[in-house]
A and B are shown apart, each in its own frame.
Chain A
Amino acid sequence: MGQYLLSVHWVAGEVREPMTDEEMQQSHKQLGILEEQMRSAGAWVFSGRLHEPDTATVVRVAEGEVVTTDGPFAESKEHLGGFYIIEAEDLDAALAWASKVTGAIKAPIEVRPFADTKA
């Protein structure tokens, strides 16, 4: 078994069909069911949805001082919208969960293994 980060990527300003309220509800419902499936399969470790990147703050060390700045770390078009941490037998099992998540959210999901997870 290994742990994987499934991160949900949004692209700012990308022309997407805006979801209707009904579609939004449908998507939320699907995600609810999916998360329930993850929990009962013992795959769910943690998940969360993030606020927009303009709510982010960065702290870093510069010349021995901790400096705090406004805004996301990387000024890029793509940003992390949310994530799941799951437990899976192998990459195929992780990709199967990721396929379900992308189907419900309609956004690309990056699947990345955690280093040094205990079996």
Chain B
Amino acid sequence: MRDRDATPKLDEVEVGRIFRQESGRSVAALIRVFGDIDLAEDAVQEAFAVALRKWPRDGPPPNPGGWITTTARNRALDRLRRESRGRQLLSEVAVLSPGDNDPVLPEEVGPVQDDRLRLIFTCCHPALSTEAQVALTLRLLGGLSTTEVARSFLVAEPTMAHRLVRAKRKIKAARIPYRVPQAHELPDRLRPVLAVVYLIYNAGQASPAEPGLRAEAIRLARILATLMPDEPEVAGLLALLLLTESRRASRLRPDGSLVLLGEQDRTQWDRALIEEGQAIIRRCLRRNQPGTYQLQAAINAVHADAATIEQTDWSQIVALYDHLLAVAPTPVVALNRAIAIGEVRGPAAALALVDELDLDNYHPFHATRADLLRRLGRNSEAAGAYQRAAELAPTDAERDFLKRRGRASR
């Protein structure tokens, strides 16, 4: 027996935190049972309202996730029984679970595939726009409110609400399936899923005011890695996020401008995240199916090994970039490879490669050129490149930083 008085009481923030943690699983389970996203969302929302009343008084139930799913399911059933359309839907649902009047929940069926995996493949179906994929994933799997999703992407709330409504309508009308793709479809279908998680993380990096997005992306990547242990790119993405996250404390100056890798205070790097990321990447590279996320993670893992920028194993990094450029031949990858080559063969070799790239509107391109020109003693050209980089910089802090560099190189 639990002692009521000794039960820790919760505040609303804590209830909200638990809910956000657990709601994705409940929403996913209910969508599978009822085949209706809106019904599942509303029911979980109602369960949240009940929890807000009960949990602060009674303490959380022993299995909050199970409680949310059961409460939400009962709410959904109540609603369906009240509505005539619902009674029809209910009779269809009953067909799926013969011998039982109530729809069966996955926990009772046994170890079936986690419903969250079905849900993320539906949210990230290629028939939906990237914006819709991101919004649906955060809303349904991440448990963010429409307001929070809108704020995270600097979109007006009505715009975001409309985007979500439209996407859900399309899923229903076009019958976007609620299932994990078959093995032969998986490579094509996994790509947008990983891209969405990476995009969520990068949105969190770009707006430090939204720390929730980075944590949410890592949480989603962890779920995916647990649910798809045989996909090396899934593990690669998780490792990449962990290794990137390990540097967060040294990434920005107090004014918000970016600190270059070589100038970061490496004592501030999070060793626990680095070790976890490195262990994952070592394991998945042994499978010898390298992809873009694994290779980027591997590059980050090599950087994380070096106590100082001078101790970096640059030839290893160049080799990894060669490989990355072969699988992802983009100018941005080529630019980063050129920087690594500059560390091995000197700034002149790097500049020759950089000058071949067509990245005139990309501010890191000009910042890189400026740095290489400065190291070659071509100071007036360097100043010009810093100027151009400053003009293209996305934030004031970044612009000021590049201008200071430009003045210093004169």
Question: Which residues of A pack against B, CB within 8 Å?
Answer: 2, 89-92, 94-95, 111-113, 115
Cβ–Cβ contact A90 & B175, under 8 A: yes
Q: Chain B residues near A115: list those with CB within 8 A.
A: 173
Q: Chain A residues near B127: list those with CB within 8 A.
A: 91, 95
Cβ–Cβ contact B177 & A113, under 8 A: no
Cβ–Cβ contact A92 & B177, under 8 A: yes
Q: How far is the CB of B349 from chain A (nearest CB, A)?
A: 42
Question: Which residues of B pack against A, CB within 8 Å?
Answer: 125, 127, 173-177, 181, 185
**A113: contacting residue among B125, B173, B181, CB under 8 A:** B173
Q: How far is the CB of A117 from chain B (nearest CB, A)?
A: 10
Q: Chain A residues near B125: list those with CB within 8 A.
A: 91
For the complex of A and B, the 9 pairs showing the least CB-CB separation, nearest first, are A90-B177, A90-B175, A113-B174, A91-B174, A91-B176, A113-B173, A2-B175, A91-B175, A92-B177
Assembly CA distance A94 to B125 (angstroms): 14
Assembly CA distance A92 to B177 (angstroms): 7
Q: Chain B residues near A112: list those with CB within 8 A.
A: 174
Q: How far is the CB of B175 from chain A (nearest CB, A)?
A: 4
Question: Among A91, A94, A111, which residue has the most Cβ atoms of chain B within 10 A?
Answer: A91
**Sample of 13 more A-B contacts, CB < 8 Å, known A90-B175, A112-B174, A113-B175:** A2-B175, A89-B177, A90-B176, A90-B177, A91-B125, A91-B127, A91-B175, A92-B176, A92-B177, A92-B181, A92-B185, A111-B174, A113-B173
Assembly CA distance A57 to B133 (angstroms): 41
Q: Chain B residues near A94: list those with CB within 8 A.
A: 174
Q: How far is the CB of A90 from chain B (nearest CB, A)?
A: 4
Question: Among B125, B127, B173, B175, which residue has the most Cβ atoms of chain A within 10 A?
Answer: B175
Q: Chain A residues near B185: list those with CB within 8 A.
A: 92
Residue of A nearest to B178 (CB): A90
Assembly CA distance A2 to B176 (angstroms): 11
Q: Chain B residues near A92: list those with CB within 8 A.
A: 176-177, 181, 185
Q: Chain B residues near A95: list those with CB within 8 A.
A: 127
Assembly CA distance A95 to B173 (angstroms): 14
Q: Chain B residues near A111: list those with CB within 8 A.
A: 174
Q: How far is the CB of B193 from chain A (nearest CB, A)?
A: 15
Assembly CA distance A95 to B181 (angstroms): 14
Q: Chain A residues near B176: list those with CB within 8 A.
A: 90-92
Assembly CA distance A112 to B175 (angstroms): 10
Question: Among A90, A92, A94, A113, which residue has the most Cβ atoms of chain B within 10 A?
Answer: A92
Assembly CA distance A95 to B127 (angstroms): 9
Q: How far is the CB of A56 from chain B (nearest CB, A)?
A: 28
Assembly CA distance A89 to B178 (angstroms): 12
Q: Chain B residues near A113: list those with CB within 8 A.
A: 173-175
A-B contact pairs, 7 of them (CB 8 A): A90-B176, A91-B175, A91-B177, A92-B185, A111-B174, A113-B174, A113-B175
Assembly CA distance A91 to B171 (angstroms): 9
Assembly CA distance A113 to B172 (angstroms): 10
Residue of B nearest to A1 (CB): B175
Q: How far is the CB of A34 from chain B (nearest CB, A)?
A: 20
Residue of A nearest to B177 (CB): A90
